Amino acid sequence: MPERKNTDFDRPGGYAMPKGAVQVHRNAVRELAEANVKLYGDKIEAYEPASIKNIKPAFSSKKPDTKLYVGDCRDVLASLPEKGSVDLIFADPPFNWDVPYDQWHDGMPRAEYERFTFDWLDGCIAALAPHGSLWVNIPDDSAAEVVVHLKRRGLFMINWCAWHFRFGQNRESSFIMSKVHVLYFAKNPDDRIWNPNAIMEPSDRASIYGDPRTMAKENNKGMRVPMDVWYGKFWGRIQGNNKERRHQHHNQIPEAYLERVILACSNEGDLVLDPFLGSGTTSTVARAYNRRSIGIEYSKISAENAWDRIARVGMIRKGEALGQSTAIFKNRRQNPRPQKTAEPQPV
């Protein structure tokens, strides 16, 4: 018998997920949560967070409420008054790559690092509201463990994105690393904050082919939700004399990245949390878009520097990366490539 084509998609298109697969995926989330899957880090006992009485941020500001706690995020998360009501969490943890952070020791034995990872992920899950979203920035060597842990805790994977940068460190022993995984999970896929109109970009169909059909659409002419591989102008690693660079920090990520996450998955007035604040990117962008935020940072000196950025410097590229085409071919028609054909809608 010839193969039958599945035409029953949750949305049209070649690589859209067929409806059956979506259902299988949903069942798998439930089954995995009950399956008692073991990972290497489970051989170590879970961390017992310190209970911090009358917990107080080291820095805070109003309009919108912005708080920065200094301490181990596993302890702070467990004692937060806002526990259970955070709308969005973005986490860019230490990768265990021996980075010389001011205080944190970034070179644990593997099992300890996995245990640490599970513990802070569990703290984040407890801090999230039932409609909350959790994003994790994580490289190849730990992405699989993070995904399995979140799945065994019953969270639902909405997207597995990649942040692609073109300034990876040169090497000849293997392909050059040019991406980090950007994992997007939600507690409830059917009840989450999602603002596609805020983050639209010109589609390839519009930018390369000037296709009149996409320009004739009633809404969002020539625009699309970005693809799950993220790159483009203002998306490079923050190095050298980049205008955004905060010199006292390691592994600062671009404002454009947090701008996309925050606009897509929170509304004005919502509460955004970053358990590894570093140079303060998350709170800086959250503040620029009128979101309340909580940052946690282990190093007092890094926290002081981050606060200077959050409270004094602010976001320096607000809106500059939004609505940019990421097409990799030139316009094939005579007409100039449409740039910013429609402004993303503020939310």
Residues 53-92 contacting ligand SAM, CB under 6 A: 72-73, 92
- Nearest CB to ligand SAM, comparing residues 222 and 295: 295
Residue type, 32: L
Q: CB of 269: closest distance to ligand SAM in angstroms?
A: 23
Q: CB of 239: closest distance to ligand SAM in angstroms?
A: 13
47 lines the binding site for ligand SAM (CB under 6 A):
no
Q: What is the largest CA-CA distance in the chain?
A: 70
The pair of three-digit structure tokens given for residue 289, joined into one six-digit string: 């878009």
155 lines the binding site for ligand SAM (CB under 6 A):
no
Residue from 49, 59, 89, 101 in contact with ligand SAM (CB under 6 A): 101
Helix (H/G/I), strand (E/B), else coil: 223: strand
Q: CB of 80: closest distance to ligand SAM in angstroms?
A: 13
Q: Which of 150, 152, 116, 119 is nearest to 136 (CA)?
A: 150
Q: Which of 131, 143, 298, 323 is nearest to 233 (CA)?
A: 323
Residue from 60, 248, 251, 290 in contact with ligand SAM (CB under 6 A): 251
Fill in the DSSP letter of residue 130: E
C-alpha 279/C-alpha 307 separation (Å) is 8
Residue from 89, 125, 136, 253 in contact with ligand SAM (CB under 6 A): 253
263 lines the binding site for ligand SAM (CB under 6 A):
no
DSSP string, 277-328: -TTTHHHHHHHHTT-EEEEEES-HHHHHHHHHIIIII--SSTTTTTT----S
- Nearest CB to ligand SAM, comparing residues 231 and 298: 298
Q: CB of 27: closest distance to ligand SAM in angstroms?
A: 35
Question: Cα dihedral angle (278, 94, 286, 149), rounded to 10 degrees?
Answer: -160
Name the residue with the smallest CB distance to ligand SAM: 278
Residue from 117, 142, 203, 299 in contact with ligand SAM (CB under 6 A): 299
Fill in the DSSP letter of residue 43: G
Number of residues that bind ligand SAM (CB under 6 A): 20
297 lines the binding site for ligand SAM (CB under 6 A):
yes
Taking a C-beta distance cutoff of 8 angstroms, is the pair 134, 125 a contact?
A: yes
Q: CB of 104: closest distance to ligand SAM in angstroms?
A: 4
326 lines the binding site for ligand SAM (CB under 6 A):
no
Residue from 202, 210, 278, 344 in contact with ligand SAM (CB under 6 A): 278
Q: CB of 267: closest distance to ligand SAM in angstroms?
A: 22
Instruction: Tally helices (H) and strands (E) across the chain.
Output: 9, 11
Contacting residues for 21 by C-beta, under 8 A, at least 6 apart: none
Fill in the DSSP letter of residue 244: T
Sign of CA dihedral 44, 157, 264, 267: negative
Residues 25-44 contacting ligand SAM, CB under 6 A: none
- Nearest CB to ligand SAM, comparing residues 142 and 279: 279
Residue from 151, 192, 237, 249 in contact with ligand SAM (CB under 6 A): 249
Residue from 94, 132, 226, 295 in contact with ligand SAM (CB under 6 A): 94
Q: What's the Cα-to-Cα distance from 190 to each of 25, 26, 131, 330, rounded to whole Å?
A: 14, 11, 9, 38
Residues that bind ligand SAM (CB under 6 A): 72-73, 92, 94, 101, 104, 249, 251-253, 275-276, 278-279, 281, 296-299, 302
